[in-house]
Chain A
Amino acid sequence: MNQDSPALAATGADAETSGAGNGTVVLRAIDIAKQYGVTRALKGVNFEVRRGKVTVLFGENGAGKSTLMKILAGIEQPTRGRLELDGAPVVLRSPTDAVDRGISIIHQELNLCHNLSVRDNIFLGRELRTPRGGIDYARENQLTRKLLAWLEESITPETIVGDLRLGQQQIVEIARALSTDARILIMDEPTSALSAADVEVLFKVIHELTANGVAVVYISHHLEEALAIADYAVVFRDGVLVAEAEAADIDLPWVVGAMVGGDADYDFRSGPREYGEVRLSVENVSVVDPDGSGRMVVNDVSLQVRAGEVVCLYGLMGAGRTELVEALAGREPMASGRVRLDGVDVTRMSIAERISQGMGLVPEDRQRDGLVQMMSVGSNLSLASLLSTVKGWFLSGRRERANVESQIASVRIKAAGPSAPITSLSGGNQQKVVLGKMLLTGPSVLLLDEPTRGIDVGAKGEIYNLIFREASKGLAVLYVTSEIGEALAASHRIVVMAKGRVVREFDPATCTREDVMAASGESEPDQRAHPIGANE
C-alpha cells in the first residue's frame, strides 16, 4: 500500500555514516504484520522513522497505530516482518532491549507510582548511585530540576506525584522518557491531559530534540495539534498504512479524509431550535478544593440548561469544570448553592438518588470511574438501571437482556455480544458503553466530562450524534470539553469557565474561536508564568 518516498529511499542504508544527516532513516519496519487470534491488527506495514524529524501517525482507534508502536518499542513481537535499526536487522525482544538501543516510549496511560516523589519516579529502576552504593539524591534532584525546567514546569523534585494534577503527572511521564536520552522517542497521546500552554512547551522541547537529531514518533487524536508538529504524516486505516506525505504538502481535511476514507461531518446541530423548559438549574454553587487547599475550585457558579439544549462548558485544565459537574452529580459536596432538577431541589441527594431523579454523569476518566473492568459489556450497561429489571426478589434475565441488547443497537456498540469482556472494546466503544449505561436510567439531564477524550474521530462523531439525538428527544446536556473545535461545532451554547467562575457565554454560531479562547484565558501569555491560573 505504501511506497518509500523517493527522497528518502536513497539514504536509508547509510544512516550510520551520516553524522549531520537529519532525515535519514534510523529505524525501518518492513512488512510488519501482527495478528491477535483471528484479527489482523497490522497487515504488512512498511514504516520509517527519520533522524531529527517528527513522524506523526494518524488513524482511528483500532487502525493499528499503537500496535505498531508497541512493536517498535519491543513490547509486542510482530507475527511477520522485520525491523532494521541503522540499516542493520534488529530483533527487539523486550522493552529493556529497546531502551538499551535508544528507543523509548511514552505510553498513553500514565505509569507512575503515586506514592513516590517526582524524582524517584523519573529514576525508578535506574537510580543514580553514590560511590558507597546509596542513592545519589543530590545528583538526581539536580537532573530532575533540569528536566522540569526544560519542560517549564515549576514542580520541585521532591513533590509527591499523587499530589500533582493529571496534566503535571503527564509532564513527569514525559520527563522520565526524556531522561533516558533516547534517540528514538515514541509518544503515544502525550498531550491528552495537557493544557494548551503545556502543549506549546512540549512542542518546543520536541523541536529542540529533533534539532539534536532525535527521531520522534508522535500519535495524537488532536489532529490540528499533531499536524502542527509533524514533519511527516502517515495515516493508518484497518491495519494498513493508507497514505503518507510530507506535512508541508497536506492539511487537516486531507488527514481526516484519509482516516475515515471520506469527508467527516463536523456540524451536529440541526438548525435553530426552540428549547423546552429549564431542566437543570444551578444556583450560586461553590465547591471547595477536595484536596484540602481550602481554595474555591468552583466559585459562585450559576447556569441553566433547557430541555433539548446541548451546553458546552469550555475552559482550561483546572478551571473548575470537572469539579462543577462532579458536584452536580453528587460526588463532591458543595460548599454552598443549590441545584434543581426539573424544579426538584437535589442539593442534598446522594448520587443514587440523583440518578433516579434523572441526572447522570459520564465521568472524565473512563477506566477509573466509568467501567467495571471485570464485568462484561452487558453487565456494565445494565449496572445503573438494575433496579428497573427486578421482578419479585430477583433480576429478570429477560428484561435485562432486552434492555442491554436494545441499548447496544441504539448507541451502536461494536462488540462480540453482551457477554464480551468490556476490556476487549476500543476506547470509543467503551465510552459508548458508559454513555449507554447512563441513558438506560432514563435521565432528563446528562452531564458529560470530556466525552471524547482519547477516542478517534469517527467515534467522536458518533458520540456527538448520540448526544444530539437524545437532546432532540428532550434531554438537557451539559458537557465539558477542552477542544475548541468541538465546543464550536457541537453545542448550542458555550459557557466559558476560568479560575472557578463562569466568565462568559457564547453563541457558537456567531462567536469566533479566538473569542472563546481569549475568554478562557488561553491566549494570555502571562498565564503560563502563573500556574495558579492554569492549574487547579
Chain B
Amino acid sequence: MSNAVQSQASNGSWSKRINLNALLIEGRALIALAIIIVTFSIMTPNFLQPDNLLIMTRHVAMNAILALGMLLVILNGGIDLSVGSTVGLSGVIAGYLLRGYDLPLTELIAYPPVWVVVLIACAAGMLIGYVNGILVSRFRVAPFIATLGMLYVARGFALLITNGETFTDLFGRPELGNTGFVSTLAGRPLGIPMPVWVMAAVAAAFSLLLTRTPFGRWLYATGSNSRAAELSGVPVKKVQTRIYILSGVCAGIVGVLLTADLPAATPRAGEFYELNAIAAVVIGGATLSGGRGTVRGTLIGAFVIGFLVDGLVLIGVSVFWQQVIKGAVIILAVALDQAQQRLQRRRGTARAQGSTPAPGPTSPSRPRHGEPAAQGSTR
C-alpha cells in the first residue's frame, strides 16, 4: 500500500530518493495541466498572454489557499464545507471596518488601520474554524454536518452585518490613516499578484508543517488510523481542532484578498468556493478518507481547476457547458486515481513481498468484503 503518504511522511526524515508512486500520482495531474495549457493556447492565442496569465493565477491562488486549508482537514478524514461562507464573512468584516465602526455609547467612529482590519478579518475566519474544530473534536459532530451548519451560520452573519448590501468604499482616507487596503492587497509586488505571494507563503509553511514537524506526522497518523495514533500518545483532539482553525484562517485570508481584488465587500462572496477547494484537493491525489495527500498535489489540482475554468470562459464555451465539463474532469481525475491506486497496491504488495525477508502471506492483502463465504453456493 505504498503511496504518496510514504513520501510525505518519511521523505522529510530519511528517504531522499524520489518516490516513484508519488510522482506518478501527481504526474497525472501535471499531465492534465499540460494538456489544458496546450489545448487552450492552440485554441486561443490570448491564453498565454501575460495579462491573462496574471488574471488566471490570481484566481488559482485564491482557490489554492482555500484548498491548502482544506487539504489539512481532508488529511484528517474530515471536510470543511464552511470555507466559502467564511470567505464572505471575513470580506464583509474587512469592508465594514474600513468604512468606519460606530463605537457603542459614544459619538465616535473608529477607523482602525489596515493591518488591524486584516487581522480582525482573519481572526473571524479563525473563530469559525475554532467552532468547527470544537464541534468535531469535542462534541463529536460529523465534520460534514458541523461545517454544513457553519456554512449557513457564517453566511447569515455576513448578510446581517451588511444588511444584504455590498460595501464598495474600501479605499480609506489619508486623513484617517486607513488607506492602502486595496492598493497593497490587490497590488503586484515584483509584478506578481499579491494572492500568488500569499499562496506561495501558505504552501511553503504547510509543506514544512506536514513534512518536518510532529504535528504533520500526527495529522497523517490520525487520518490513517486515529485509534492507533491515540494509543501512541498523539493528541488526536488537539490535532483535529487545529486543522479546522488553520482552514478557517486560510478562508479568512482569501476573504480579505478577494475583497481587495474586486474591490468590494459583498455578503454573497465566496459562494461554492468550498466545492472548488475540495475538487482541487482530490484532483491533487488526496483521499477523502484521510491519510493521503500532499501540498504539491493540491497546488497542481488548483491550477488544473483554475486554468480549465478560465480557459473555457476564454474560448467562449457557454456557462452551462462549463459546468458539465468541470464536473466531468473532477470525476475523471478521481476515477483514474482509484484505478491507479488499485494497480499500485497490487504491484506494491508484490514488490513489498519480494523485498522482505519474511513475507507474511497473511498480512498485506486483506480479503475483500463478503468473499468467499458470503458467495452463493449452488448446492
Name A's B-contacting residues (CB within 8 A): 36-39, 41, 61-62, 64-67, 70, 73-75, 95-96, 98-100, 102, 104-109, 111, 113, 124-126, 173, 176-177, 180-182, 188, 329, 331, 350-352, 355-356, 361, 363, 368-376, 378-379, 382-384, 386-387, 390, 393-395, 397, 400-401, 404, 414-416, 418-421, 423-430, 437, 441
Contact = CB atoms under 8 A, between A and B. Distances in A.
A400 B360 contact: no
B378 interface: yes
B162 interface: no
A405 to B, nearest CB: 9
B309 to A, nearest CB: 32
A65 B225 CA distance: 29
Given A177-B373, A351-B231, A400 B352 contact: no
Given A39-B353, A99-B372, A395-B13, 11 more contacts: A180-B375, A188-B362, A350-B235, A369-B231, A397-B14, A418-B14, A424-B352, A424-B359, A424-B363, A426-B363, A428-B360
B187 to A, nearest CB: 30
Contact of B377 (A65, A99, A331, A378): A99
A96 B371 contact: yes
B355 A424 contact: yes
A36 B228 contact: no
Counting from the closest, the 7 A-B pairs by CB-CB distance are: A37-B354, A426-B360, A95-B372, A424-B352, A126-B376, A36-B353, A374-B224
A457 to B, nearest CB: 14
B14 A126 contact: no
Nearest to A60: B358
Contacts of B14: 378, 397, 400-401, 404, 418-419
Contacts of A95: 371-372, 375
A108 B356 contact: no
B18 to A, nearest CB: 12
A111 B373 contact: yes
Nearest to A401: B14
B212 interface: yes
A407 B258 CA distance: 51
For B208, B355, B369, which residue has the most chain A Cβ atoms within 10 angstroms? B355
Contacts of A420: 352, 355-356
Nearest to B353: A36
A125 B352 contact: no
Chain A binding site: helix, strand, loop or mixed by DSSP? mixed
Given A66-B361, A372-B224, A378-B13, A37 B351 contact: yes
B361 A64 contact: yes
18 contacts: A61-B360, A65-B361, A73-B372, A99-B375, A180-B373, A331-B231, A374-B292, A376-B6, A376-B9, A376-B10, A379-B10, A382-B13, A383-B234, A384-B233, A395-B217, A414-B356, A414-B358, A424-B363
A374 B3 CA distance: 8
B330 to A, nearest CB: 23
B225 A371 contact: yes
B225 to A, nearest CB: 5
B214 interface: yes
Contacts of B123: none
B338 interface: no
B307 interface: no
B220 interface: yes
B343 interface: no
Contact of A75 (B12, B224, B230, B372): B372
B23 to A, nearest CB: 15
Contacts of A368: 225, 227-228
Interface residues of B, number: 63
For B213, B220, B377, which residue has the most chain A Cβ atoms within 10 angstroms? B377
Contact of B5 (A106, A182, A375, A424): A375
Contacts of B375: 95-96, 99-100, 125-126, 180
A93 to B, nearest CB: 12
A36 B350 CA distance: 5
B213 A395 contact: yes
Interface in B195-226: 208, 212-214, 217-218, 220-221, 223-225
Interface of B: 1-3, 5-6, 9-10, 12-15, 208, 212-214, 217-218, 220-221, 223-225, 227-235, 291-292, 348-364, 366-367, 369-379
A89 to B, nearest CB: 20
B359 A41 contact: yes
A124 B374 contact: yes
Nearest to A356: B233
A379 B372 CA distance: 34
Given A95-B375, A376-B10, A390-B214, A426 B359 contact: yes
Contact of B373 (A106, A371, A404, A425): A106
A415 B357 CA distance: 7
A107 B360 contact: no
A426 B362 CA distance: 7
For B220, B228, B292, B376, which residue has the most chain A Cβ atoms within 10 angstroms? B228
Given A61-B360, A180-B377, A423 B1 contact: yes
Nearest to A396: B13
Given A181-B379, A419-B15, A108 B372 contact: no
A373 B223 CA distance: 10
A70 B361 contact: yes
Contacts of A37: 350-355
A111 B9 contact: no
Nearest to B13: A397
A395 B214 contact: yes
A369 B228 contact: yes
B359 A36 contact: yes
A113 B369 CA distance: 9
A351 B230 contact: yes
Contacts of A414: 356-358
A176 B128 CA distance: 49
Contacts of B369: 111, 113
Contacts of A426: 356, 358-360, 362-363
For A41, A404, A426, which residue has the most chain B Cβ atoms within 10 angstroms? A426
A105 B373 contact: yes
A96 B372 contact: yes
A351 B229 CA distance: 11
B220 A375 contact: yes
Contact of B360 (A106, A395, A429): A429
A329 to B, nearest CB: 7
Nearest to A383: B232
B377 A372 contact: no
